[in-house]
Amino acid sequence: MVSSSNVINEEVTVEEFWLVGLVKKAISFPVFLGVLLAVAAGVVAMSHLADPDTWWHTKVGQWILATGRFPTHDIYSYTVHGHPWIAYEWLGEVLMGLAGRAGVGGLMWLLCGISAALLTLMYIYAYVYTRSVKAGVTAAALLLPLEGVFFTLRPQLIGYCFLVVLLILMELYRQGNEKALWFIPPLFLVWVNTHGTFFIGLGIFGVYWLCGQFEFEWGTVEAKKWTPRQSRHLLLTILASTILLPLTPYGTQLAAYPFEMAFMQPLNIQSIQEWQPLSFGPPWGKAFLILVVALLFLQLRWKPRYRFFDLVLLTVTIFAAAQHQRFIAVLVFAFLPIVAAFVGRWMTPYAPSKDKYLLNVALIALIVFGVFHFFPNDRQIDKRLGKTYPMKAIAYIQEHGIPEPLYNDYGWGGYLIWKFGNLHGSSLPVFIDGRADIYDYAGVLRDDLDIADLKPDTPFLFDKYQLRTVFTNSDSALATYLRASPEWSIAYQDKLSTIFLYHGKYPKAASYGF
């Protein structure tokens, strides 16, 4: 007969054994590698806080937090003031709004944190795919320079995290973990309220199911067919995920927005740089070319085997990235398991018995200390932002004021909303900002492009909007034009920006229907 005291001691021993195992995993070499990747992602992200959309997203999030409501019309501009507009990415904006309460430092921490999470998820996905820690970290590190281009503080960065989580869950299910499907419908519920990339995820999940309807072996490509039970479970998951999409503050509008953007905002797609066809001039264009060439060389030299789904996803994302630069980020996720499987050929397995736990702890502690010690403060961040945003000119406006209405450069509109926006709108309504959808519908985006490019109708557009102030880049064609005009004078000027004031007379705005 076993005494109760012996049972208790045995239970405590088992619990202690389990706890020791958990602690060892938390300070293991794979975790140390993950910390290194996270810090590397944060370092890359630090140079990307200057994205022009960060600021209005943050201000919208703060407005939602302060009012407890969701916007239904524009309040920050005068050109489309009162026009219908909704926060399509409200959940991501609320997160940004919370971080923005701590100023630019809070936004920088959030940017680095999400970027670190994305690269860590890529590492996890590559590991789950190959079951090789070293292959996973190597693949994620190799693709960091290309993926890091998209480390910008916008809700789409969170959407990319969700996309990698989906790929992880899909791979776990393929390996036999049926419970992985349980997490997919809730993922899409959060995703649809965060960013329109949910639609890409739903499409990839559908292709995942479809590729499992075939079984064949063709050269180096193989397809394995889902069992009837697996196929049914996947279809039910797709159905459940789709049913949850209308559960948003705006009903079905968020689920429909990707279609709206694709088919109803042609000028937005044509004029915004990230939607342009791929060019090999920028670094990411060259990296794209290197990836494709490397894939061809890999195929010719080693003839690796491909799963049918992986090959389909890779083909589709290569085509999409060639059409629109923005999809390079998704292409990286398609390349990731292929790179990991390839480099895994030369990687020795991770051996827990040889792990140096105390060394891991010391190095992780040193890294964490270095992150907090060297992380830039608000003054240092503002100094960096001053290279992109006209902070001195804005200080001049805050001190002296300017006559309205104002014309501002497209890339500065969001920052002006950040500086002058309030719960009732803006103390300095902008001409345009990064919400290209609403300006496209109203025709303002076309007018902005004509003014910025100094098209022949520029004087007419000045009359149309009755512009009293122009706030533009000092090196722009528009600045050169206004310097030569006797009706415009310079109120402020530095190397980055110039503020012009109008001294002439306009016809009545009503005669132009504005």
Q: Is the pLDDT of residue 18 over 70?
A: no
- Identity of the highest mean pLDDT range in 7-11, 161-165, 325-329, 440-444: 161-165
Is 363 a member of any domain?
Answer: no
- 3-class DSSP state for residue 226? coil
The yes-or-no verdict on residue 302 having pLDDT over 80 is no
More confident residue, 450 or 218: 450
Q: Do 410 and 339 share a structural domain?
A: no
pLDDT higher than 80, residue 262:
no
Task: Examine the domain organization and report whether 345 and 405 are in the same domain.
Answer: no
Does residue 364 form part of some domain? no
Q: Are residues 342 and 392 in the same domain?
A: no
Together in a domain, 335 and 442 = no
Numbers of helices and strands, H then E, in the chain = 23, 9
Q: Judge if 16 and 134 occupy the same domain.
A: yes
Does some domain include residue 299? yes
Instruction: Judge whether 303 lies within some domain.
Output: yes
Instruction: Encode pLDDT of 184-242 as tens digits.
Output: 999 999 999 999 999 999 999 999 999 999 999 988 899 999 999 999 999 999 999 99
Look at residues 309, 331, 354 and tell me which one is the last residue of a structural domain: 354
Q: How many domains does the chain have?
A: 2
Q: What is the pLDDT of residue 289?
A: 78
Among left, alpha and beta (phi > 0; psi -120 to 50; other), residue 176 is left
The pLDDT value recorded for residue 347 is 87
Which backbone phi and psi does 486 adopt, to 5 degrees? -70, -15
Own/partner long-range contacts of 136-142 (Cβ < 8 Å, ≥24 apart): 136/340, 137/30, 137/33, 137/34, 137/36, 137/37, 138/340, 138/343, 138/347, 139/336, 139/337, 139/339, 139/340, 139/343, 140/37, 140/336, 141/37, 141/40, 142/339, 142/343
Is residue 417 domain-shared with residue 340, that is, in the same domain?
no
Identify whether residues 193 and 46 lie together within a single domain. Answer: yes
Please state the pTM of the whole predicted model: 0.92
Task: Give a yes or no: residue 380 inside a domain.
Answer: no
Tell whether 89 and 169 lie within a shared domain: yes
Domain that holds residue 498: 387-512
- Quick: pLDDT tens for 38-69: 999 999 999 888 899 999 999 999 999 999 99
- Among 331, 354, 377, the domain boundary falls at 354
The answer to whether position 375 is within a domain reads no
Co-location of 329 and 411 in the same domain = no
Q: Which of 332, 354, 376 is the last residue of a domain?
A: 354
Residues of the chain with pLDDT > 70, as a percent, come to: 94
- Indicate whether 283 and 406 sit together in one domain: no
Q: Are residues 172 and 287 in the same domain?
A: yes
Residue 366 lies in a domain: no
Do 141 and 64 form a contact (C-beta atoms < 8 A)?
Answer: no
Mean pLDDT over each residue of the chain, to the nearest integer: 90
- 332 in the same domain as 421: no
Q: What percent of the chain has pLDDT over 90?
A: 75
Strands (E), 376-496: 406-408, 421-422, 425-426, 469-473, 488-493
Residue 332 inside a domain? The answer is yes
